[in-house]
């Protein structure tokens, strides 16, 4: 996996364009996400554990929005049941190219298929584990119900969805506190005020966070019987949602 340092927003610009997952981002993505998402390493490490516990024999595990394949690799290391395969999906050609190289260099035996396509176009079938680490937030909000419903419908009994997202807060004081602390975290990780401000601007129309309640309600409406918040750090969280 590439280890280049993310300096994409270090120079001041008059105009900041909307964020896209292009070649430039893919080449520094590992550093970018580790320094931008508090608890990212924990979420990835636990993705392996979730796969260990919940992947079922002869089923399919999905990594939706796989980027460079960190969650795919974690699942691949965790799966110990026979007959499983992983389908990793991303609609960024640069991400898929690098992800395929990362997977090819890994020697675990679970088969992985890396697909260049929109997660909304991937049929979800015979699934025991579906991982969506920090991807639903990039889908237009009016498409999210259908996406979650499709995942629910494609699960086998006992299936688990790992849904990790940046979240918003209904209470404005809390929103301000969590955002301030999150920006302090980014500075602790070595980003300058300019980098924090410009990245925020680049993402503001692209990454649309919802509240924890909105996520829980959507999962419930889709049919998920249980939803547990297993991780939260400031405005980032992860939910485990169970079909039954």
Ligand X SMILES: C[S@@+](CC[C@H](N)C(=O)[O-])C[C@H]1O[C@@H](n2cnc3c(N)ncnc32)[C@H](O)[C@@H]1O
Residues binding ligand X (CB under 6 A) = 21, 33, 65-67, 70-71, 89-92, 95, 118-120, 133-135, 138-139
Shortest Å distance, C-beta 69 to ligand X: 8
Other beta carbons less than 10 A from residue 193's beta carbon: 10
Shortest Å distance, C-beta 96 to ligand X: 9
Using the minimum distance from each CB to ligand X, give the nearer residue, 91 or 177.
91
Q: Which is nearer to ligand X, 138 or 177 (CB)?
A: 138
Q: Which residue is nearest to ligand X (CB)?
A: 65
Rounding to the nearest 10 degrees, give the CA dihedral for residues 202, 207, 209, 215. Answer: -170
If the CB atoms of residues 8 and 177 are measured against ligand X, the closer one turns out to be 8
Residue of 155, 157, 111, 110 lying closest to 131 (CA atoms): 155
Q: What does the block give as tokens for 112?
A: 């992985």
- Cβ proximity to ligand X: between 127 and 139 the closer is 139
The DSSP output letter for 9 is: T
Shortest distance in whole angstroms from residue 41 CB to ligand X: 11
From the number of C-beta atoms within 10 Å of its C-beta (0-12, 13-18, 19+), residue 214 rates as middle
**DSSP 8-state code for residue 16:** P
Minimum gap (Å) between residue 114 Cβ and ligand X: 12
């Amino acid at each position: 996996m590439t280890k280049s340092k993310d300096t994409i927003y270090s120079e001041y610009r008059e105009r900041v364009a909307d964020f896209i997952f292009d070649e430039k981002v893919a080449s520094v993505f590992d550093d970018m996400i580790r320094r931008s998402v508090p608890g990212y390493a924990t979420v990835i490490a636990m993705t392996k554990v979730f796969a260990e516990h919940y992947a079922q024999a002869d089923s399919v595990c999905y990594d939706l929005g796989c980027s460079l394949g960190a969650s795919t690799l974690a699942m691949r290391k965790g799966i110990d049941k026979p007959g499983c395969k992983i389908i990793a999906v991303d609609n960024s050609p640069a991400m898929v190219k690098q992800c395929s190289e990362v997977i090819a260099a890994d020697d675990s035996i679970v088969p992985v298929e890396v697909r260049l396509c929109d997660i909304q176009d991937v049929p979800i079938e015979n699934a025991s584990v579906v991982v969506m680490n920090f991807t639903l937030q990039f889908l237009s909000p009016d498409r999210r119900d259908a996406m979650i419903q499709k995942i629910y419908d494609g699960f086998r009994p006992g299936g688990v969805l790992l849904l990790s997202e940046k979240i918003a807060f209904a209470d404005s004081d809390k929103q301000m506190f969590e955002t301030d602390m999150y920006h302090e975290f980014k500075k602790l990780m070595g980003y300058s005020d300019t980098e924090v401000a410009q990245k925020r601007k680049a993402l503001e129309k692209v990454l649309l966070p919802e509240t924890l309640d909105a996520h829980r309600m959507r999962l419930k409406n889709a049919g998920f019987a249980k939803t547990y918040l297993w991780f939260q750090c400031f405005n980032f969280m992860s939910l485990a949602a169970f079909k039954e």
